[in-house]
Structure 1
Amino acid sequence: MEEAFFRTHTNLVELQNAPVRRNLMDEIDWNDRLIGIKGTRGVGKTTFLLQYAKENFSPTDRQCLYVNMNNFYFQGNGIFDFAVDFVRNGGKVLLIDQVFKQPNWSKELRQCYDMLPGLKIIFTGSSVMRLKEENPELNGIVKSYNLRGFSFREFINLQAGTDIPAYSLDAILYDHEHIIKQVLPLVSPTKYFQDYIHHGFYPFFLEHRNFSENLLKTMNMMTEVDILLIKQIDLKYLTKIKKLFYLLAQNTEKGPNISNLAKDIETSRATVMNYIKYLADARLINMIYPVGEEFPKKPSKIILHNPNLLYAIYPIQVNEQELMETFFVNTMWKDHRVNQGTKDHFFIVDDTKKFRICNAKGEYKLRYNSDTIYARYNTEIGKDNRIPLWLLGFLY
């Protein structure tokens, strides 16, 4: 049976041609023996595993093997028994895709860790999984990382053939005029920004299929598989979760009214709050809180996780300010904490930095304050505490 897996592995690795080398490849400590790569559906976790194999082993090297838990073979065979055979034949690195499809996967990984000290396992799972909280047997032994969708920087590098590096938030805030002078001779960011906002976050835009249809399918899978299967929710509640998601997406201007939502989907307030958390874990929405507050309190604002989702839900009418705020929160979300500010269109980042998202074309109406950073869209350049919003897409 292992022969068939090796044939598949060799084919997949030989065909693998990742269009963009993800930054996460260099952030992971590959010396760890148990590594979990979490991420929302569609962000390229399978590609990431195969890229690791391609960079570190020849396609026919039997020390490394990629397997997908979707394979029916694993309905009757456990991960541990498979790993024992693999190690007996000289295997060193096992790449396991969609690990949560296997019952008792966490106990089996623990068994591999304890009984097979010469084996490294790198596995992928859904962003909905709480690796350590829900699987105490992995506590202290698993190192967990998040793979995100493409940043605006990765999208530009892919589309324009450039190799522009990522910048820290402090570098962008205090040196943006200098950074822009380095970027603009290479590429015009505004030429690519609208495409990124529409379809650039999910790598599957590269497949020559209808992107919107593909994204809708992915969003359905996030609720049907990632939330229902992993959280073990009965199928009969699926329509309630989907309806809640739609109602939240429709009303991002004001904070959610939990009592009304509970009435609309015919369930309790506590269940609504749990469902909202699941939708956030699935990376369909982001919950924004005032500074110092967090779940299980009610968020002060809910926005979609990334701008591409807005176009999937409202293909006709998309509000530009809402799109830009969604982009801002999404790009900050990887390494920074974003809270609700005191006024509309204001956000507090990392408890201290006050941001306002504004349209450069309408800014003659604004009075600028020195304590606020103005992230401006519809412009390529910045000055002092006014930075172009697109540049925040270069944080990773």
Structure 2
Amino acid sequence: MEAFFKTHKYLVEHTDAPVRRTLMDEIDWSDRMIGIKGTRGIGKTTFLLQYAKENFDADNHRCLYINMNNFYFQGRGIADFAADFYNRGGRVLLIDQVFKQPDWSRELRLCYDKCPGLKIVFTGSSVMRLKEENPELCGIVKSYNLRGFSFREYLNLMTGNDIPIYTLDDIIKRHEQIAHYLAHKVDIPLHFENYLHHGFYPFFREHRNFEENLLKTMNMTTEVDILLIKQIELKYLTKIKKLFYLLALEGPKAPNISSLANEIETSRATVMNYIKYLSDARLINMIHHVGDEFPKKPSKIMMYNPNLMYAIYPIVANTQDIMETFFVNTIWKNHKVNQGNKDACYIVDENKTYRIVDSQQTTKQRYMPDSIYAEYNSTIGHDNHIPLWMFGLLY
């Protein structure tokens, strides 16, 4: 146990989290079993360590961080280890990559039942369906999703500002005032361009090639998270990877399921399942018309965030596609997004139409007074013409 405390102390003391993630204040920390999901590279480990750093001294043995990558846990279950920690006075156990442990959900249930004063916070892949696929945890686990940096968080990191979160209603009603205020503080066009290219994943701060690191993350997501958690045989990995590449090549559009099935030599039903896995893994977004949902075929598939679009060779990302991908990704944090009746048109919360347009081309289009125009190549808007970048302030 002392070796784990030593590692915990070192990691907490050396944790560098210059931007406090908004999820930290959204979680009800009084719950005893908390699950934090998220795609690879999104900062789940840092998030756990930041929680420990904010709430406990590094030498306080009431809190302990452990990672299931440690080979020690191949010979000892979580429940047995947790009971030992609890009997030594431990009260908060932070478990990273919990899905690496066999029977992890049953083990967590044992912890919950046998250690009534122990809080467990664990991280796992976004592919995991905590409640649907793990009945042992129903009623005891509270699940949260950790997302990549918003444009607001990225701005705060890069400029040292403390820009607050704005609601969608704030942005619609006060966007001119907010934009004028922020435009005097930071270079919006420069930072927005950089954010679209590399700002979503926190590891852009590391001194490594960002695109190579992102490709590694994408491969690990398919090779480990999808195959391991969904218990898919290794021989099908190439089909999943090829499907993802084909979807990326096609850009945001309705998928031709029959054509994709022929391309990867499998059934239509299997293609739909693979698409769902890629969506759960936060590699793609599925967009449906209002009233539709999976397993119905999506009306559009796009990459999960714009950073992914720059990393897949030899795709030359189309500006319009990048901007739509940004809009869908950032809106989806707290709102529902559906496909509208035309391209570049989305319905938010089933009641408001948003059109993603180039501000330099807006005058050439038919004006729709009931729509909101989310405009790129714009820093400050007017009336129902809102600069697209402002939707990045929602979380």
The equivalences for 1:1-396 within 5 A come to 2-314=1-313, 317-396=316-395
- Partner Cα separation in structure 2 for residue 31 and residue 217 of structure 1: 36
Farther off after superposition, 382-391 or 167-176: 167-176
Q: Secondary structure at the match of 2:46?
A: helix
Structure 1 runs of 4+ off > 6 angstroms? none
Superposed CA offset, 1:344-392 (max 9, x none): 1101111011010000122221232111000000110011100000000
Superposed CA offset, 1:225-260 (max 9, x none): 110000000000000000000111111243101111
Q: Against the structure 1 CA distance between its residues 315 and 22, is the aligned structure 2 distance closer, same or farther, given a 3 Å change threshold?
A: farther
Count of aligned pairs: 395
1:252–1:301 CA contact under 8 A, matched in 2: no
Letter in 2 for 1:334: K
Percentage of identical aligned residues: 71
Cα offset, 1:394, TM superposition: 0.3
Letter in 2 for 1:95: L
Superposed CA offset, 1:300-350 (max 9, x none): 100000000000014662100000000000001111111111011101111
Q: Secondary structure at the match of 2:361?
A: helix
Superposed CA offset, 1:102-135 (max 9, x none): 0011011111111100100000000000000000
2:249–2:315 CA contact under 8 A, matched in 1: no
Show structure 1 runs of 5+ residues with no match: none
- Partner Cα separation in structure 1 for residue 313 and residue 383 of structure 2: 36
TM-score, structure 2 length as denominator?
Answer: 0.99
TM-score, structure 1 length as denominator?
Answer: 0.99
1:152–1:394 CA contact under 8 A, matched in 2: yes
Cα offset, 1:181, TM superposition: 2.5
- Partner Cα separation in structure 2 for residue 260 and residue 181 of structure 1: 48
1:87–1:119 CA contact under 8 A, matched in 2: yes
Show structure 2 runs of 5+ residues with no match: none
Farther off after superposition, 362-371 or 78-87: 362-371
Q: Secondary structure at the match of 2:95?
A: strand
Letter in 1 for 2:124: G
Q: Secondary structure at the match of 1:133?
A: coil
- Partner Cα separation in structure 2 for residue 193 and residue 316 of structure 1: 21
- Partner Cα separation in structure 1 for residue 194 and residue 210 of structure 2: 12
